[in-house]
Amino acid sequence: MDRHEPESYGDAFADVYDEWYADVSDVEGTVARVVELAGDHPVLELGIGTGRVALPLAAAGLSVSGIDASAAMLDRLRAKPGGGALAVARGDMADVDALAPPPGARFGVVLAAFNTLFNLVDADEQRRCLAGAAARLAPGGCVVVEGNVFDPAGLGPAGDSVAVRSLTPERVVLSVSRADPAGHRLSGQFVDLVDGAPVRLRPWALRTTTPAELDDLAGAGGLVLAERWGGWRGEPFTDESDVHVSVYRIAPV
């Protein structure tokens, strides 16, 4: 389960991503908030993927660029109307400072949408990514991270689970996952079974960074938490929140 490379997730999911995850988060709310936060500056999306969020941001008038490690995801982005016009770099988002296109650009918002930052599966990579994003902010800019609230207590005991994602006469998709709270890791495979076709495995892995840990990692990169909501529409963040939208700004010296 640990053969995880930066391109692993995207290459495994590109062909089903838009079908499976079109509604995984509040895109309309994301666009409204990012427009407000970016002001007149461009936006960089980390792990831009197929453009699920980036294309609506661009349609709202923002100048959007992105980084993604997966050629397969970027091919899907480029095939969409407007996708070819975005400046995109292929590579590891942990190297954001060096890679973010266009070279030398400074961003009003560097966005890591739904759980994308947690695709970096160790804390050092997340820290490096946040520090690199901070280095590319325009004056007054911010780094925005959206994700599930990973609470080690809420992850439950270490262990494995199997669930049915979808079931039709032609196709069964099983979700097989493993929780390792001590190792801050959730990982799994979707097992895609089509009668008469080879089995398709779709591996994924997340480092389950809690909001408090994320604040520490961001702090090491010179960022400080400015806002944390329970959603893009300013919902209060409470003990009951499943999701957080965390806004970091350069810490005052």
Ligand X SMILES: C[S@@+](CC[C@H](N)C(=O)[O-])C[C@H]1O[C@@H](n2cnc3c(N)ncnc32)[C@H](O)[C@@H]1O
Contacting residues toward ligand X, per CB under 6 A: 6, 9-10, 47-49, 52-53, 67-70, 73, 92-94, 113-116, 119-120
DSSP 165-181: EEE-SSEEEEEEEEEET
Query: In whole angstroms, what is the distance from residue 25 CA to residue 35 CA?
Result: 17
Residue (58 or 194) nearer to ligand X, CB:
58
Candidates 242, 238, 210, 212; CA nearest to 225 is: 212
Residue (56 or 211) nearer to ligand X, CB:
56
Query: In whole angstroms, what is the distance from residue 104 CA to residue 143 CA?
Result: 17
Residues 220/131, Cβ–Cβ less than 8 Å: yes
CB of 124 to ligand X, least distance (A): 13
Residue (15 or 251) nearer to ligand X, CB:
15
Query: In whole angstroms, what is the distance from residue 100 CA to residue 210 CA?
Result: 26
Residue (48 or 170) nearer to ligand X, CB:
48
CB of 68 to ligand X, least distance (A): 4
Judged by phi (left if over 0) then psi (alpha if -120 to 50, else beta), residue 73 lies in: alpha
CB of 22 to ligand X, least distance (A): 9
CB of 196 to ligand X, least distance (A): 29
CB of 253 to ligand X, least distance (A): 30
Residue (92 or 192) nearer to ligand X, CB:
92
Query: In whole angstroms, what is the distance from residue 213 CA to residue 219 CA?
Result: 10
